[in-house]
Amino acid sequence: MVNKKKICQEIRRRIIDVVSKNGGHLASNLGVVELTLVLHEIFNGKNDRIIWDVGHQCYAHKILTGRSEKLKDIRKENGISGFTNRFESEYDVFTAGHSSTSISSAFGLAQARKINSEPGYTIAIIGDGALTGGLAYEGLNNSGRFDKNFIVVLNDNEMSISKNVGSISNYLSKIRTRNLYIKFKNIVEKGLDSTPLIGNKLKKLLIKSKSAVKKFVYENTIFEEMGFLYYGPVDGHDLKELNTAFNIAKNINQPVFVHVVTTKGKGYKFAEKNPKNFHGIGSFEITTGNSKKTNENFSDVFGEELVRIAEKNPKICAITAAMKSGTGLNKFFDKFKDRFFDVGIAEEHAVTFASGLSVGGLIPVFAVNSSFLQRTYDQLIHDVSIQELKIILAIDRSGLIGNDGETHQGLFDISFLNTIPNVTIFCPSFFDELKYILNYSINSIENKIFAIRYPKGSELYRYDGYEYNKSNFDTHGDINNTEILLITYGRTFSFACEARKILLEKNIKICILKLNVVKPIDLKILEVIFNFKKIFFFEESLKSGGVAEKLGCILLENNYVGEYKIVAIDDRYVKHSSMKSQIEKYCLSTSGMVNKISEFENI
């Protein structure tokens, strides 16, 4: 007989070994090993479809679907993705990198399969953290009326990236603790199992019933009110309990909601003890759990400066969407709990909530990853910009972000923010610039959106003598005796400075125009640009809708007759690889800039 517990141990060892070398999502993957094994055992991968929410708990799923050997290269260039990816395997039904999507996508798939008369079950797995997102309830509200073969699995580990907050978290806690009904239910079920001829029919009747006992001991859940048959809570690490739960779910002709309670980081003591630190982690030492030391980063600098400003200004409030640690807001939370708001995985709510704070005379600062800000486009227009309200967006992980791949690259914020009136976008290159811009935005009397975008990680090379001049733009080099102008902003300015030195050694003189504010473009910039015959704009963002494209329109309207070249991410999604490799590939590195300009000069 196959020893399933041993299989689970082997899967955990494999995951720990790979993540310790490659980095990735550890705690969430360790928590779902038994759940994943049972799902793949009970449901047929050829006929049944399993859709994972977010996708950062799919490592065991990948191992069990023929990708164990490939796991060693997960998140590496040309290796498999750290998330589910429908172009990678037939078993990855839906590409997922953001939260709260699984129920809606699974319901759409279930409806399509019904229309096409295809057999099999559709199973959506969603985390308790993802239940703080509104899209999950839109999915539940609609799928609860589906007739059969549709199962939603709640992986309840009491955490998202940060500790869960709000009414839903409290509600799930209440469900977990109603042991009286659970024990009663289990005793009855064991008795029914001992009489299989009539037991199975009675079990179905018991599960479907809204008996007085059930209502008295265990009130109907919100999931039942939405049309689901609720089953749980189930111990997510008890193979027998999981087996029973999903076999029952298969035999019910209505949507079933299976509540599975798991331990994040299960099987690795360091991850169990501190799951948030092992959610998304770089390489680490297995025996100690210690990560490699990293340099001070933009997130930390932002968080520390916000605390310093807030000590003098009681109107400042900080908002996060379940990313307190990731966005550097830990210290703010420690010092100003009454002015700190973790809204859960609800970015749209965060922006509209911020607009309400602004109407009330406060200064809201919403710290959010660039890729998650995409969800708030409508709220930024209707609830902030149109109403001329002041909020500050601290846009973390802007630009290329490395191994998390397509779904997490911060390449879209400039393009969509460029379309919204009453927005100013700042792009600091260094820590002191970030501090100044944050102070400036908070103290400004203008009622608008102040967007401050900064990259993942630390500041780069800074050449001697550079000082931030606190203007919309500044130049570096001889304006009057140089034909070539290199324009850039953000961290690529460091590469431009290095490229300038190398090009000078090749007798190619260039001048650098550094943009500190990329929206609105200061038209005084034309006084500089018209001194040059050749312009290269290097932009760590999408070309479409980007700053370079917008400046190109301005130059055309003002009859610029020189040559204008744009180097940016052109109409594509950037796959996972190291950040260094991505910057090199898209010619935004020092060597990329040198090569592009040298090639042009040699034509």
Structure tokens at 58: 């799919």
Is 444 flagged in the annotation as binding? no
What distance in Å separates the CA atoms of residue 131 and residue 116, rounded to the nearest whole number?
A: 30
Which helix (H) or strand (E) segment holds residue 424: the answer is strand 423-426
- At 276, give phi and psi (nearest 5°): -65, -35
Among 247, 231, 193, 263, smallest CA distance to 38 is for 247
- In whole angstroms, what is the distance from residue 387 CA to residue 393 CA? 16
The answer to whether 576 is a known ligand-binding residue is no
Q: Is 98 annotated as a binding residue?
A: yes
d(CA 310, CA 317): 8
Q: Is 527 known as a binding-site position?
A: no
Place of tokens 């599975």: 260
Q: E strands within 113-198?
A: 122-127, 150-156
Q: Are 94 and 107 in contact (CB under 8 A)?
A: no
Alpha helices in 558-589 (DSSP H): 579-585
Burial string for 531-562 (b: 16+ CB within 10 Å, else e) reads bbebbbbbbbbbbeebbbbbbbeebeeeebee
Q: Does the annotation flag 238 for ligand binding?
A: no
**157 annotated as belonging to a binding site for a ligand:** yes
Is 158 assigned a ligand-binding role in the annotation? Answer: no
SS3 60: helix
E strand or H helix that includes residue 110: helix 102-115
Q: Where in the sequence numbering do the catalytic residues fall? A: 264, 347, 375
560 assigned binding-site residue: no
> Could you please report the per-residue DSSP string of 262-296?
--TTTT-HHHHHSGGGGSEE--B-TTT-PBPP---
In the DSSP assignment, the letter for residue 533 is S
Binding residues for thiamine diphosphate, as ranges, are 56, 97-99, 129-130, 157, 268, 347
Binding residues, as ranges, are 56, 97-99, 128-130, 157, 268, 347
